[in-house]
Structure 1
Amino acid sequence: MKRIIPLVIAILSVAFFVGLILKNEQHLKQSDSIYIRLAPVDPRSLIQGDYMALNYDLGFWGLPEQNNQTDIPLNDTVIKNKSSVIAYVALDAHRRVVKTSFDPRLLEMYPSTSHRIVLKNPDNRLDRLYPASNSFLFAEGLAECYEAAQYAEFKVDQQGNAILASLRGGDLNTLGCENHKKWWSGEKARS
């Protein structure tokens, strides 16, 4: 019996991680893409390799109240002491985020071009909210290519859960950074 317990634990652990991977793969395949404008910073970590710290231009705004048409105040009390908050985004024709609000009436104002999204809240500050990830790891030697990123592509499901899928250029084009360098051999790719 003592020999079986570690084996059962190992099998259950592998099954859990395979299930998690399959769930995320389904999320990536079946979710809608939305694009959020970046304000990237590109530090280098000696421990992690190359990575880009991501800041997002979410374009927060208040919606007018129904009776007196004044704006709902946008301040940090709306998000105070919450690890994550639900926000609503209005998208343009290319599915880029143009407005973000905490008011669900945004979905009614833009029924065909709006989406719900869950934002992480590390510091109880509006300017520090982010969807899913605030950094992007990449292979060493590709920093110059990823500096051209202007948008982050997120796959967002109906509940608003987001997964960072890729970084994109100004016209939402794929950067193709993986083709610029063969990181496993240290050689530059030939065009």
Structure 2
Amino acid sequence: MSEERKLCNPGAIGLGGFAMTTFVLQIHNLGWVELGPVLWIGVFYGGLAQLIAGYHEFKLGNNFGFSAFTSYGAFWMALCAFLIFGHNPDWVAANPTLKFSANGLGWFLVAWTIYTAIMFIASMKHHTVMALLFLTLLLGFIGLDFKELAGSQAIGTLAAWDLIVCAGIAWYLMAHIICADVGIHLPVGKPWT
């Protein structure tokens, strides 16, 4: 007789990586910390750890978790690479065939806004906390789009505060997963649709 092996929920690590990286980036956007911590947390925890969580969601057959964690993990790695190489004058000068436009980051964020809108629609079938997570993320991306493409610093500040709330919701969902494993059930609410 073989004993059934319990699998861990990769959502705990995926949500933790998303929450921490989102939080630290917004602290940077508010001017409270330099960019260095954002880049390193973004590459390893927001990026790599989320990618790993996404691939484990794939093994579990969770298409939503697979798409979310793998995509946002890749988002953090791409954003960090853009910030390291796209804004480094020495690197750009050494690679003259690459051109970086002033609004490149804005259009990068618009593409992620579209992806997030799709994920928000799907999140409404899960539960209230998941829908709130993707709603605040969508609103945050829209705010960052306006900040980057229209130069609106005021909207950028509102987006930073919104995304701090989003990070808090992600940490709550992480806590929900971890606590459920020891018999503590934090409420998440009903699906919106």
Higher helix share: 2
**Max radius of gyration: which structure?**
1
Higher strand share: 1
Measured against the shorter chain, the TM-score band is under 0.3
